[in-house]
Amino acid sequence: MKTLKANPYYAAGIAAFVIWGFIPFPLKALAAFPSGQILFFRIALSIVFLLIISLLFRRRSIRSTIQQVKQSAARERRLFFTYTFLGGLLLTVNWLSFIYVINHINIQTGSFSYLLCPILTAVLGFLLLKEPLRTNQWLAIGLSALSCILVGTGEITSLLYSLLVGLSYAFYLITQRLLKVYDKIVLLNLQLILAFAFIAPFYSYFTSGTTPALNTHFFLNIAMLSALFTVLPLFLNLYALKELTSGTIGILMYINPLLNFIMAFLYFNEETTLTKVMAYLLIFVSVIIYNINLKGRKKTGAGMVIPPVGTTAVVK
């Protein structure tokens, strides 16, 4: 009975990551437009969609979060505003760099970033939050470092962009762990508003060169990014976390970069080198080793996987 009951939650979790796995399609359709312009409109529409949903269905959560902040100690309030601010800033950096990587570097680099991201998050959790790591997880971290060396020897630019995307989101996840007692949708609304405030003053800079005119094609793909690749999988993931452990979600998240890799080679005809193939296989093996022995993880609904323009990360 328990397995049958959990099926809809597994289906929701898998659906969320499958949707995020197809993010290169709308991004590639907008490749002619500047990355900053794409991000500007995507954030704006995402804010609109999330605010409508929050005001219609989550007003109680908004009131509860406001009351929670008001009643907290002065130090807790400062931490809330500091980490919310940092979260908005890190999301902006991550989303902008990811769009640029997909459209101007290659899909493989973007996918590699999010295979690395959980490992990077674990290292930062150990260094900043003193979270313990098992022996197999240290082995996985060592293999991940070796895969980075292999990528770096082939093309240092790809490695640097992978680390920028992966590290910016890993740091974002660390800030969110420190805000785990607050409602995640309310926090995401605030962070998106901050992200819009960060990027809006630079809109004229992003569009200063020769850019295509905004048309129906542009806004349809932007609406798809905002509604289909942000809001829908976000709520599917929240639904999944009602019954699934965040460790299980962490396993399911690898559907996304694997789909990215498949599309890069089979649909977008990207080429690679033997060195990169070895690096990708190595990081994949490290992911398997890292996630061995998940039985000891406690079930929690506090985590949430939030897409950096439709990609994934693990909150343990």
pLDDT tier at 305 (50, 70, 90 boundaries)? very low
> Between residues 219 and 132, which one has the greater pLDDT?
219
pLDDT of 265 > 60? The answer is yes
Q: What's the pTM?
A: 0.86
pLDDT in tens, 11-53: 988 999 899 999 999 999 999 999 999 999 999 999 999 999 8
DSSP per residue over 63-75, as a string? HHHHHHHHHS-HH
119-123, 158-162, 244-248: range with lowest mean pLDDT: 244-248
Task: Average the pLDDT over 244-254 and give the result.
Answer: 72
pLDDT in tens, 58-112: 899 999 999 999 999 999 999 999 999 999 999 999 999 999 999 999 999 998 8
The Cα 138–Cα 286 span in angstroms is 10
> Between residues 19 and 156, which one has the greater pLDDT?
19
Q: Do 99 and 23 contact (CB within 8 A), yes or no?
A: no
Report CA-CA distances (Å) from 238 to 93, 187, 217, 270, 310.
24, 14, 30, 34, 15
Joined tokens for residue 29:
């359709």
Q: Do 84 and 190 contact (CB within 8 A), yes or no?
A: yes
DSSP category for residue 215: -
pLDDT value, residue 1 = 46
- Of all residues in the chain, what percent are helix, strand and coil, respectively (each to 5)? 75, 0, 25
pLDDT in tens, 99-126: 999 999 999 999 889 888 888 888 888 8
